[in-house]
């Protein structure tokens, strides 16, 4: 395993790639946690039509864009990533809701 350095300390592409791989592992762990909240939402919401909430979707994306702006990273890229993430989360939650309903 390669030593993980801060980006500004990287001197080789091997170091950069090791850092990217480490961040990707962290992101997957965070996504697992986030999807756990989708499991909880599917369990808590009483009606399937409550899964898609466009106002909440907009709020989540706007929050991410604000964080991106504060962090100095590309806002448009973050907005697109979060659009995809939220849509994937909605699809996952719908699937979980349907499975829960079928098991009753």
Query: Tokens 């979707």 sit at which residue?
Result: 57
Task: Confirm or deny that 47 is annotated as ligand binding.
Answer: no
Question: Is 34 flagged in the annotation as binding?
Answer: yes
Asked if residues 83 and 91 have their Cβ atoms less than 8 Å apart, the reply is: no
Convert 49-70 to b/e letters by CB count within 10 Å (16 or more is b).
eebeeeeebeebbeebbeebee
Is residue 83 marked as binding? no
Q: Cβ-count burial of 42 within 10 angstroms (0-12 exposed, 13-18 middle, 19+ buried)?
A: buried
Confirm or deny that 93 is annotated as ligand binding: yes
Residues making up the binding site? 17, 34, 45, 93
Residues making up the binding site for substrate? 17, 34, 45, 93
């Amino acid at each position: 395993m390669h030593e993980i350095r801060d980006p500004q300390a990287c001197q080789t592409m091997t170091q950069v790639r090791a850092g990217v791989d480490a961040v990707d592992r962290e992101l997957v762990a965070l996504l697992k946690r986030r999807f756990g909240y989708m499991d909880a939402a599917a369990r808590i919401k009483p009606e399937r039509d409550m899964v898609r909430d466009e106002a909440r979707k907009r709020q989540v994306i706007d929050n991410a864009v604000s964080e991106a702006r504060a962090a100095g990273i590309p806002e448009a890229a973050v907005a697109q990533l979060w659009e995809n993430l939220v849509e994937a989360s909605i699809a996952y939650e719908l699937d979980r809701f349907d499975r829960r309903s079928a098991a009753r």
